[in-house]
Amino acid sequence: MASEAGSSNVRAVERALQILGSFDEKHPERGVSEIAQAVGLHKATTHRIVTTLVSYGYLQRADDGQRYRLGMALASLGFLVLRRTDVRREAMPIMTELASRLDETCDLSVYNRGEAYFVEVVQGSRALTIAAAVGRSLPLHATAGGKVLLAHLAEQEAEGVLEAPLVAHTHRTITRPVELRKQLELVRAQGFAIDDEELELGVRAVSAPVRDRDGNVVAALSVTCPISRLPLDKVSAVAAEARHAADSISRRLGWQG
């Protein structure tokens, strides 16, 4: 019985992949009947799988409400793959130099499904360093890198984050959407973001945006320190270092700004 169930699950995955694969440049939108014909499945089976794919964001309804197109979840996965290769490769030598010069932890994060996802971390040599690890995800609203990413998201996606409950990780976490929106405006204006003990007490961070050749923000470069080594009167200087390093990575990605 377990083998039969496993086989059935594999077939369901294969069918879902076939359905996703039926969309291309010539067929960016399809109705259920058209999808069923394209992949050779019964219409009822196709409808069930399409409904599941919609619920997970891999498909979305077209404007007419009757047809479907590929969803943003696929775009998110695709961008994550690209960012983890090109951005990480180009960022590594600059991050290594920055971490060595400041002797502090530097990390590179990208947006992934409502969180800031670490794709690279370079530690300083001090005995006391901030714990960070590749593959870790942190909340957008409570981190410097997360605020950079959130400030440059498409409006609809950013509003989805802002309208969800904003968890208080410390008493300094911004949990009111109206207040967070104001800070995101400041992030865009000044070119960097600050985490002032908002995720963890005793820890302060600054972050700057990394852009691709088209000027889109694809990652955030952050410097994270104990507050004893990053007092408020030094934030501007460290932020300038982070911005310079982020701009250097951006130019390696083809940005001309």
Q: pLDDT tens-digit profile of 119-177?
A: 889 987 765 556 667 778 899 999 999 999 999 999 888 998 998 899 999 999 999 99
Domain final residue, candidates 70, 87, 111:
70
Domain end point (choices 55, 70, 85): 70
Cα(74)–Cα(206) distance, integer angstroms? 30
Quick one: 206 and 106 in the same domain? yes
Are 225 and 203 contacting, i.e. CB atoms less than 8 angstroms apart?
yes
Structural domain including 36 reads 2-70
Q: Are strands 217-226 and 105-112 parallel, antiparallel or unpaired?
A: antiparallel
Whether residue 141 sits in one domain with residue 35: no
**Amino acid at the residue 93:** P
Domain shared by 234 and 149, yes or no:
yes
Tens of pLDDT, residues 3-16? 445 566 788 899 99
Distance CA 157, CA 171 (A): 26
**Is the domain of 121 the same as that of 216?**
yes
The count of structural domains within the chain is 2
pTM (global) more than 0.75: no
Amino acid at position 25, single letter: E
Distance separating alpha carbons of residues 203 and 237, to the nearest angstrom: 17
* CATH number for 195: 3.30.450.40
CATH code for the domain of 12: 1.10.10.10
Of the residues 21, 49, 70, which one is the last residue of a structural domain? Answer: 70
> Per-residue b/e over 1-14, b at no fewer than 16 CB within 10 Å?
eeeeeeeeeeeeee
Query: Is 7 domain-assigned?
Result: yes
Q: Tell me whether residue 257 is in a domain.
A: no
How confident is residue 112, by pLDDT bands cut at 50, 70 and 90?
A: confident
State whether 42 and 101 are in the same domain: no
Mean pLDDT of 105-110: 93
Rounded to whole angstroms, the Cα distance separating 77 from 65 reads 25
